[in-house]
Amino acid sequence: MQGKGRAVCVGADIDTDQVIAGRYLRTKDHTIWVEHIFEDLDPSLARRMNGAVIIAGKNFGCGSSREQAAIAIRESGVVAVTAPSFARIFFRNAINVGLPLIECHLPCTEGAVVMFDFAEGWVETQGKKYPVKPLSPRMQEILAAGGLVNYMRTCR
Amino acid sequence: MGTLSERILGGTAGEYVDCSINRAYVHDGTGVLTLEAWKNMGEKGIQDAAHLYVLFDHIVPANNSTTAVLQHELREFACSSFLQFSDIGGGICHQIMSEGVVLPGEVVVGADSHTCTLGAFGAFATGVGATDMAAIWMTGETWFRVPESVGIHLSGTLSGASEAKDLALTYVRRLGMDGATYRALEFIGEGTAALPMDDRLTLCNLAVETGAKAGMFYADEVTVQYLAGAGHEVQRQEPEPCTYQKEFDFDLSDIVPVIAVPPRVDTIRPVSDLVGLPLDQVFVGTCTNGRYSDLARFARIVKGRKVAVRTIVVPASRAVLQEAIRTGVLADLVDAGCTIGTPGCGPCLGAHMGVIGEGEVCLSTANRNFKNRMGIGGEIYLSSVATAASSALEGEITQPEVS
């Protein structure tokens, strides 16, 4: 899997309440999550999600197990999320909904081009390549299928 | 040989394993997405419905038509597919599973991050997302990376007004919000023996606030006796030689009452530093501190007096509420001016009731104080039950009384 997007920088320890607040969870309408994504962190972020690669600090996605957080990011048009570390439930959720995650410590300049290639195991920004920690074989298969729903439809 | 996680999951740390799931549960929030994902997977059947649970706790009773429709659909599905079902008022999913359901050595998954609470029984219990849960409904199994473990050595005994919650916040502070990401916490040492099951549940509950996959106690005499009370005969789990990735020591006699200040669980201050901070609301409940022993402790402090600030008490389950009625604790709480909510999560997640307004401050016995969680512009301080009770009486943060 390869991808390319513009960097959007966020801080460390971004919890899933900040990705999508509890007050917007009681719906199956994904457009509501897209509309209110990161509202409590920075309401202007929602407009910059399409085509973005989010470059986050450590422990991205901590807190609640709400899968709406991963869905909101994917549905907003985010290409991938990078962070030095992810909270584990968010990590599984993201792969399960087909959102690529890149475990890597990257410098972030707002709007800089970020490219990645999972097969070759690198991510590149501002003229420098960084190695990417590979996903487990199972997670690679799930991501390649476009998420766990497709994986279960086709593989089981 | 090995850590409790390694023994239960059947692998060594770092290895990927496929595991049969002994019990799997969702609540009204995550269950809706689970059902949707399960349908999208092709509705290929349910594996072992007797060990799948749907437990309504997050928005109970439903607050509006949208929620009511979503809950109706999930309720109908749970009943028609013969899943174990607990409707509104039954209580918090983790609490229900702790009332004689989860047993030592089991692999338990819940579609909620605080599933780690149930590691108190010597089970491997961890949170998963809705889509993972849908696959578990379908196959009865999932994959895990066997976690490395962190040893939390406990010695001594809690003293004065200090509670397990103070120890929990103290260890979260020491490890940090990502101090145990991908790892399991094992609570070990001679200090564990004196901790009753309710304290163990509180300690395991906060494990995920360090990023941990699980928080676990070895089943011992306390576990055996607790489960015997629920009609289960279980064996103790003896620790075996194993390797911890990191180890931390806590002398329980050093633990003092603390408060986590917003917006992070790992930022704590001694209560003494915050005395006098005005409060708008006190909330007692949740999967952290909504058990009968918590309500009873709160009642002992407020009994015969009046709270000086609006105070919401939400029992963690119907069984907790029934016990509080039977013993008179509920009457003491109501007489002291507390408002009682439907057993469930209550205002913790800021979705339907007990929401705080902009600029308001809530002292809560819950486990999260993230920005805006209980209401936009409101601030959440986290404390023990005794600190919450003494503070409710004064309307400001107050040193806890020994109850």
Q: B57-75 pLDDT, tens per residue?
A: 999 999 999 999 999 999 9
* Token pair of A15 as six digits: 């919890």
Max Cα-Cα span within chain A = 43
Please name which of B34, B82, B101, B90 lies closest in space to residue B58, comparing C-alpha atoms: B90
Please check whether residue B374 is in contact with residue B356, taking contact to mean a CB–CB distance below 8 angstroms.
yes
Per-residue pLDDT, averaged over A108-127, amounts to 95
Per-residue pLDDT, averaged over B216-237, amounts to 98
Cβ-proximal residues to B322 (8 Å cutoff; 6+ apart), any chain: none
Looking at the complex, does the CB of residue A148 fall below 8 Å from at least one CB of chain B? yes
Bridge partners, residue B108, by sequence: B23, B125
With a cut of 90, say whether residue B209 has pLDDT above it. Answer: yes
Q: Chain B: nearest CA to A127, how far in angstroms?
A: 30
* Angle ∠(A37,A16,B176) on CA atoms, nearest 5: 145
Q: Name which of B67, B373, B374 to mutate to probe chain A: the one with the most chain A Cβ atoms within 10 A of its Cβ.
A: B373
Cβ-proximal residues to B185 (8 Å cutoff; 6+ apart), any chain: B119, B149, B150, B152, B204, B207, B210, B212, B214, B215, B216
Looking at residue B383, its pLDDT comes to: 98
Number of H helices, E strands in chain B: 14, 18
Return mean pLDDT, chain B: 97
Closest CB from A41, A93, A148 relative to B135: A148
Looking at residue A111, its pLDDT comes to: 97
Q: Chain B: nearest CA to A113, how far in angstroms?
A: 29
Q: Output phi, psi for B94, to 5 deg.
A: -65, -35
Helix (H, G, I), strand (E, B) or coil at B53: strand
Q: Name which of A93, A152, A153 to mutate to probe chain B: the one with the most chain B Cβ atoms within 10 A of its Cβ.
A: A152
Please check whether residue B198 is in contact with residue B295, taking contact to mean a CB–CB distance below 8 angstroms.
no
With a cut of 60, say whether residue A156 has pLDDT above it. Answer: no
**CATH of B258-394 given 3.40.50.1110, 3.30.499.10, 3.20.20.80, 3.40.50.20:** 3.30.499.10
With a cut of 80, say whether residue A155 has pLDDT above it. Answer: no
Please check whether residue A123 is in contact with residue A116, taking contact to mean a CB–CB distance below 8 angstroms.
yes
Domain limits, CATH 3.30.499.10, in chain B? 1-256, 258-394
Which residues 114-173 in chain B show a CB within 8 A of chain A? 127-132, 134-135, 138-139, 143, 145
Residue with tokens 């409707």: B87
Q: Chain A: nearest CA to B229, how far in angstroms?
A: 32
Please check whether residue A19 is in contact with residue A37, taking contact to mean a CB–CB distance below 8 angstroms.
yes
d(CA A52, CA B25): 35
Using a pLDDT cut of 90, give the percent of chain A over it. 92
Using a pLDDT cut of 90, give the percent of chain B over it. 98
In whole angstroms, how far apart are CA A114 and each of A56, A76, B241, B295, B347? 13, 17, 46, 53, 41
Looking at the complex, does the CB of residue A138 fall below 8 Å from at least one CB of chain B? yes
d(CA B200, CA B211): 18
Contact A22 B351 (CB under 8 A): yes
Residues of A in contact with B66 (CB under 8 A): 26-27
pLDDT band at A119 (very low <50, low <70, confident <90, very high): confident
Please name which of B202, B198, B118 lies closest in space to residue B167, comparing C-alpha atoms: B202
d(CA B252, CA B244): 21
Contact B129 A67 (CB under 8 A): yes
Closest CB from B67, B135, B370 relative to A15: B370
* Token pair of B105 as six digits: 């050595």
Using a pLDDT cut of 70, give the percent of chain B over it. 100
The CATH number that domain A2-155 falls under is 3.20.19.10
From the number of C-beta atoms within 10 Å of its C-beta (0-12, 13-18, 19+), residue B190 rates as exposed
Cβ-proximal residues to B7 (8 Å cutoff; 6+ apart), any chain: B240
Contact A17 B370 (CB under 8 A): yes
A48 DSSP assignment = G
Task: Give per-residue pLDDT as tens, B155-208.
Answer: 999 999 999 999 999 999 999 999 999 999 999 999 999 999 999 999 999 999
Please name which of B264, B243, B333 lies closest in space to residue B297, comparing C-alpha atoms: B333
With a cut of 80, say whether residue A2 has pLDDT above it. Answer: yes
Contact A93 B139 (CB under 8 A): no
With a cut of 90, say whether residue A26 has pLDDT above it. Answer: no
Closest CB from A65, A88, A136 relative to B181: A88
Looking at the complex, does the CB of residue A95 fall below 8 Å from at least one CB of chain B? no
Looking at residue A133, its pLDDT comes to: 86
Looking at residue B354, its pLDDT comes to: 96
Residues of B in contact with A74 (CB under 8 A): none
**Number of cross-chain residue pairs from A and B with Cβ atoms under 8 Å apart:** 124
Please check whether residue B257 is in contact with residue B399, taking contact to mean a CB–CB distance below 8 angstroms.
yes
Q: How many CB atoms lie within 10 A of CB B311?
A: 27
Closest CB from A59, A70, A138 relative to B178: A59
Per-residue pLDDT, averaged over A24-49, amounts to 95
Please name which of B233, B273, B122 lies closest in space to residue B184, comparing C-alpha atoms: B122
B13 DSSP assignment = T
Q: How many CB atoms lie within 10 A of CB B155?
A: 14
| Complex ipTM value | 0.94
pLDDT band at A108 (very low <50, low <70, confident <90, very high): very high
State which fold the B1-256 domain adopts.
Answer: Aconitase; domain 3 (3.30.499)
Per-residue pLDDT, averaged over B302-308, amounts to 98
Looking at the complex, does the CB of residue B213 fall below 8 Å from at least one CB of chain A? yes
Domain positions in chain A are 2-155
